[in-house]
Amino acid sequence: MKKTIFQIVLIAIVIVLGYLTYDSIMEPVRFNKEKKFREKLVIQYLKDIRSAQFIYKQLNNKYTGSFDTLIHFMDSAEIPVVKMIPDPHDTTFTLTINDTVGYVKVADSLFHNQPRVDYHHINLIPFSNGKSFSLKAGVIKKGGVSVNVFEAKAPFTTYLYGMDQQSIINLIASRKEIKKYPGLKVGSMEDASTDGNWE
């Protein structure tokens, strides 16, 4: 009888240890899968912010460091819709502007393919429990020339909110070790770049 109880206990221990081993192996896999899922959406937000900044700069000759200003701009500003026709005498098929045929709101131009996007909340980092992207804009000197720049970023701690804390700590440490921003960002306040750090 004792032998049977001992065998049952031993089997239970083996099952528990097996589960714990499996779980420890799968934890990083689950973490990375969820991280990639979240980053895909955060990156789309950063791309949308960049696109809005590009149009804002075209009309204002500078970027903005204010989401209130950027959102109001998308709500109210309009860009011309122009009719382009090829020059029949130009063998390089150069297009020339023929006429402005109307105007479209900036928001409609940017998000007509994303009907479910509420750009009024473009400042909020997905999965962050209400945290906002950091947004800065200014002018820097590069090669003696003044250059307009902007930067929008979201640290790991915001969009990985609620995920395994130790994995997040390890991720931050690995980025800092190679002197990289611990999160996702687009643009730069130090270089004349509008690239995202995922590109």
List Cβ neighbours of 184 (8 Å cut-off, separation of 6 or more): 39, 42, 43, 46, 153, 154, 159, 196, 197, 198
CA dist., res. 151 & res. 133, Å (int): 10
How many structural domains does the chain have? 1
Whether 115 is covered by a domain: the verdict is yes
Distance of CA 157 to the CA centre of its chain: 14
Q: What is the pLDDT of residue 142?
A: 87
- Domain enclosing residue 64, as ranges: 35-187
- Residue 160: CA count within 13 A, CB half-sphere: 24
Tokens of 148: 């307009």
Range with the lowest mean pLDDT among 3-7, 36-40, 108-112?
3-7
Q: Tokens 């720049």 correspond to what residue?
A: 149
End-to-end CA distance of the chain: 65
Whether 193 is covered by a domain: the verdict is no
CA dist., res. 74 & res. 108, Å (int): 8
User: Closest Cα to residue 183, out of 119, 137, 128?
Assistant: 128
* pLDDT surpasses 80 at 59: yes
CA dist., res. 45 & res. 117, Å (int): 9
Whether 4 is covered by a domain: the verdict is no
Q: What is the pLDDT of residues 60-95, one digit of tens each?
A: 999 999 999 999 999 888 877 766 666 666 666 565
Q: What is the DSSP letter of 198?
A: T
Q: What is the pLDDT of residue 106?
A: 80
Whether 158 is covered by a domain: the verdict is yes
Helix or strand run (H / E) with residue 36:
helix 2-60
Tokens of 40: 């895909």
Judge whether 183 and 152 are in contact, CB under 8 Å: no
User: What mean pLDDT comes out for the span 141-152?
Assistant: 93
Whether 177 is covered by a domain: the verdict is yes
Whether 134 is covered by a domain: the verdict is yes
Q: What is the pLDDT of residue 29?
A: 86
Whether 23 is covered by a domain: the verdict is no
User: Closest Cα to residue 102, out of 85, 119, 78, 121?
Assistant: 78
Q: What is the pLDDT of residue 14?
A: 63
Whether 101 is covered by a domain: the verdict is yes
Using DSSP's 3-state secondary structure scheme, residue 135 falls into strand
The residue that leads in pLDDT, 100 or 160, is 160
